[in-house]
Amino acid sequence: MLKARVTLDPAAVVAPVSRRTFGSFVEHMGRCVYTGIYEPGHPLADEDGFRTDVLALTRELGVTTVRYPGGNFVSGYRWEDGVGPRERRPRRRDLAWHSIETNEVGIDEFARWAAKADVEIMYAVNLGTRGVQEALDVHEYVNQPTGTHLADLRARHGAEKPYGIRMWCLGNELDGPWQLGHKTAQEYGRLAAATAQALRAAEPGLHLVACGSSGSSMPTFGAWEATVLEHTYDLVDSVSCHAYYEEHNGDLGSFLASATDMDHFVDSVVATADSVGARLRSRKKIQLSFDEWNVWYLSRFQNQPPLTRWDVAPPVIEDEYNVADAVVVGSLLISLLRHSDRVTAACQAQLVNVIAPIRTEPGGPAWRQTIFHPFARTAALARGDVLRTAVDAPVYETARYGEAALVDAVATHDAASGDVALFAVNRDLTRPVELTVDLRAFGPPRRPAGSWTLCDDDVRATNTRDRPDRVTLRPAGEVTADGNTATVTLPPVSWTAVRLAAR
């Protein structure tokens, strides 16, 4: 059998696990909001019209932070359309997704949903068609204690207490030619700096995120981050990263190695940010907010015929995920955790229906897609510190990313409980790998206290409305531990989590 080895040391700490790593994204796009989180006529809707089945799944997923209200949508959004009496809210064209926005849900409703889901809001302001004043206005509406015009308006709309939103995205993907209000790096850098300065004057201590390039394959990648950070370095905390992966032309081997690209992406943005910091003679380190990541079959989307109608909440990019997609999602989480010293927030895009771990049918059930499982398990088990995880594994050649390790892994250690959580993927298409975990540095032995694997003889198997649990987690084959080492067999094309508890 193929063999791999992981060596762990409680002293080799990357950083504490940031709870914000387990963020998600709710955009006014397709059926994410309408018939996703919100469907007043649904038999399971609560008094506010929120689907309680989706709320329960959101909590089960372990989501901590939710980016809102977009995405491309935000670059043409007027936040004030979504507040006040519903019957007076305007219907508007959403030019990003060519649909009608009814504004039935706005920030007040979303804040109520977020409280029920027990998640923090990461709010994105419109720096596409709007600017500093509108960012200040929405900030006053959501965060200012009563006593000013817009704070009092919020109170009149039913929310006396400010929402206390800490994380603010300064626009979305503004280097993308598809973006309303698309800008050059100079234009955006200046606007982001002015907006950041104004928001800081309104409320010190906010966590501000400048837009990075919308993808590492953009011609602007690298130069965009450098220019934007030259304008904003002292004013923002993070720069954003967005990445979507898919299997191209049946090349499963490359697809399974997608996390090597994410590793490279993160390292490149860190290097760019640090070089700006060095030029500015700053000791500050810019953090990365990986606030859009997932598997997305973007090539299928681009081949869709152009939209010719204006519908309310039409189904858009409702990708159905298979076993291999879930393994990739698990491995992307491994990459994000591994970089916890710099990636301090991340949002899987999106939460419901739109390239999402949760699917719903209008008037019908909600179910977990395959990608739900590695996310939920990782969010539940990753505690304490991320450990620098040395992996010794065979390698294989991929057409897209060059050489990749057959096994990738990361571990966390919770010093309070003594628990170790290990997350691992086997990228081999046909062969299992015996993984040995070297725990000698821990001293007192650890015992296996739970294991979960996602794999299937059919890597194309999916969950559907009629077979919602076709793909789920199962206990990993026997996990043995002899005190100083633990051994687990990773099936081909699989994601596995193991909990090792202090005796």
Binding site residues, ligand AHR, CB under 6 A: 27, 29, 70-72, 172-173, 214, 292, 349-350
Catalytic residue among 120, 134, 140, 173: 173
We find the least distance from the C-beta atom of residue 323 to ligand AHR, in angstroms, to be: 23
Q: How far is the CB of 90 from ligand AHR (least distance, A)?
A: 22
Picking from 344, 320, 349, the residue whose alpha carbon sits closest to that of residue 461 is 320
Comparing CB distances to ligand AHR, the nearer of 13 and 312 is 312
* Least distance from ligand AHR to the Cβ atom of residue 187, Å: 18
Nearer to ligand AHR, 356 or 435 (CB): 356
Going through 102-237 in order, the beta strands assigned E by DSSP cover: 120-125, 167-170, 207-210
Give how far Cα 267 sits from Cα of 149, 330, 344, Å.
Answer: 45, 19, 14
Closest CB 22 distance from ligand AHR, rounded Å: 17
Indicate the residue type of 476.
Answer: A
58, two tokens: 């959101």
Alpha-carbon distance 361 to 369, whole Å?
Answer: 13
By beta-carbon proximity to ligand AHR, the closer residue of 86 and 300 is 300
Find the catalytic residue in 292, 361, 397, 403.
292
Task: Closer to ligand AHR by CB, 302 or 430: give it.
Answer: 302
Find the residue with minimal CB distance to ligand AHR: 71
56 CB-near residues (< 8 Å, 6+ apart): none
Nearer to ligand AHR (CB atom), residue 317 or residue 433: 317
Reply yes or no on whether 134 is catalytic. no
Instruction: Please identify, using beta-carbon distances, which residue of 77 and 442 lies nearer to ligand AHR.
Output: 77
Residue 15: CB minimum distance to ligand AHR, A: 27
Amino acid at 452: W
Spacing of C-alpha 412 from chain mean position: 19
Q: Which residues contact 39 (CB under 8 A, 6 or more apart)?
A: 45, 49, 51, 360, 362, 363
Under 8 Å CB-to-CB from 115, ≥6 apart: which residues?
none
CB of 114 to ligand AHR, least distance (A): 19
Which residue, 121 or 387, has its beta carbon nearer to ligand AHR?
121
Q: Spell out where 140-230 has E strands.
A: 167-170, 207-210
| CB 214, min distance to ligand AHR, A | 6
User: Least Å distance between CB 140 and ligand AHR?
Assistant: 25
The smaller minimum CB distance to ligand AHR, of residues 23 and 71, is found at: 71
* CA separation for the pair 178, 209 (Å, rounded): 21
Q: CA 327 to CA 425: how far, in whole Å?
A: 7
Helices 132-143 and 149-156 pack at an angle, to 10 degrees, of 50
Phi, psi of 5, deg, nearest 5: -140, 140
Q: How is 358-400 classified by DSSP, letter by letter?
A: EEE-TTS-EEE-TTHHHHHHHHHH--SEEEP-EEE--EEEETT
* Distance of alpha carbon 277 from alpha carbon 359, whole angstroms: 42
Is the CB of residue 196 less than 8 Å from the CB of residue 232?
yes
Tell whether omega for the bond before 41 is within 30 degrees of 0, i.e. cis.
no
Structure tokens at 64: 């901590």
> Would you say 228 or 406 has its CB closer to ligand AHR?
228
Cβ distance to ligand AHR smaller for residue 358 or 454: 358
Burial letters 302-338, b for 16+ CB under 10 A, else e: eeeeeeeeeeebbebbbbebbbbbbbbbbbbbbbbbb
Q: How far is the CB of 172 from ligand AHR (least distance, A)?
A: 5
Q: Is residue 318 annotated as part of the catalytic site, yes or no?
A: no
- Element housing 108 (H / E): helix 107-117
**Measured distance CA(394)–CA(51) in Å, rounded:** 46
For the bound state, the minimum distance from the C-beta of residue 242 to ligand AHR, rounded and expressed in Å, comes to 6
**Catalytic residue set:** 173, 292
